[in-house]
Amino acid sequence: MSQPSERAPRTAIILAAGLGKRMLPITSTMPKPLVKVAGETLIDFALNRLDEAGIEQVVVNAHHFADMLEAHLKSRTRPRIVISDERDELLETGGGVKKALPLLGNGPFITFNSDSLWIEAGEPNLRRLVTAWDPERMDILMLVAPLSTSIGYEGYGDFHQDPEGRLRRRGTDPSASFVYAGVAIVKPELVSGTPEGPFSANAFYDRAIAKDRLYGLCLEGQWLHVGEPHAIAEAEKCLAASKR
């Protein structure tokens, strides 16, 4: 099995502060990261994958039902968890990363959407991502999933990929081959100079695209998009089938 380099990320942020409006009515009583799929909360899936990949410290930002989320996380011992408190203001994905940057250190870090879920096929995908990280060529390395095999996703794809692995947005094209699977390695330099307050992480992606330094790694296995309540049963069916 390939090994991550000394320049590989050692920290991560799980973006867990959102209101989860598309998951209503479930999220009227709990944060989306605590929604269970096949008996496991979404955030525990993320934390287990990060631990498996050797990530030592994980920042979790919290806003919606923050007390409930913090109480759940206290039961974990690995990886080490630090809370980035957004109770006063929801900062969106980009603003949440910027606020947490002092907790993430000076090196590259992983961003992990709290609802990112997939079925593995061989070497764990997060370890593959860490191993493939090349800071000489890349400012961001995204885990992307084939549109054709993604479960629960109803969009038209996010990115095209060239033979060298660089990504460009779908733009006005009717479809694109790859969907962002919710996990990426990011250089902290992309965060500097971004606006204060709430903003989208798309600002980081656009900076990397402008320099031809946004790359993608294709997920091996099957990506499960759990965006709405009805998607939970479909994801559980796929997970059960994968264990037969």
Cis ω before 79 (30° cut-off from 0) = yes
Residue 200 identity: S
CA dihedral 202, 221, 232, 215 (to 10 degrees): 0
Q: Is residue 202 part of a domain?
A: yes
Q: Is residue 4 part of a domain?
A: no
Please give the distance of CA 31 from its chain centroid, rounded to a whole number. 16
User: Considering only CA atoms, which of 116, 115, 114, 119 is closest in space to residue 240?
Assistant: 119
User: What is the pLDDT, as a whole number, of residue 192?
Assistant: 87
Q: Is residue 110 part of a domain?
A: yes
Identify the domain containing residue 171 by its residue range.
11-242
User: What is the pLDDT, as a whole number, of residue 43?
Assistant: 96
Q: Is residue 2 part of a domain?
A: no
Please state whether the predicted TM-score (pTM) of the whole model is above 0.85. yes
Label residue 105 exposed, middle or buried (CB < 10 Å: 0-12, 13-18, 19+): middle
Buried-exposed string 61-97: b where 16+ CB fall within 10 A, e elsewhere: bbbbbbeebeebbeeeeebebbbbebeeeebbbbbbb
CA dihedral 33, 38, 44, 48 (to 10 degrees): -140
pLDDT in tens, the chain (244 residues): 444 455 789 999 999 999 999 999 999 999 999 999 999 999 999 999 999 999 999 999 999 999 999 999 998 889 999 999 999 999 999 999 999 999 999 999 999 999 999 999 989 999 999 999 999 999 999 999 999 999 989 899 999 999 999 999 999 999 999 999 999 999 999 998 898 999 999 999 999 999 999 999 999 999 999 989 999 999 999 999 988 5
Q: Is residue 153 part of a domain?
A: yes
- Looking from the CA of 123 toward its CB, the CA atoms found within 13 Å total 13
3-state helix, strand, coil in the chain (%, to 5): 30, 25, 40
Q: Is residue 3 part of a domain?
A: no
Q: Is residue 1 part of a domain?
A: no
Domains held by the chain: number: 1
Tokens for 69, please give them: 């989320």
CATH number, residue 85 = 3.90.550.10
Secondary structure of residue 45 in the 3-state scheme:
helix
Cis ω before 4 (30° cut-off from 0) = no
User: What is the pLDDT, as a whole number, of residue 1?
Assistant: 42
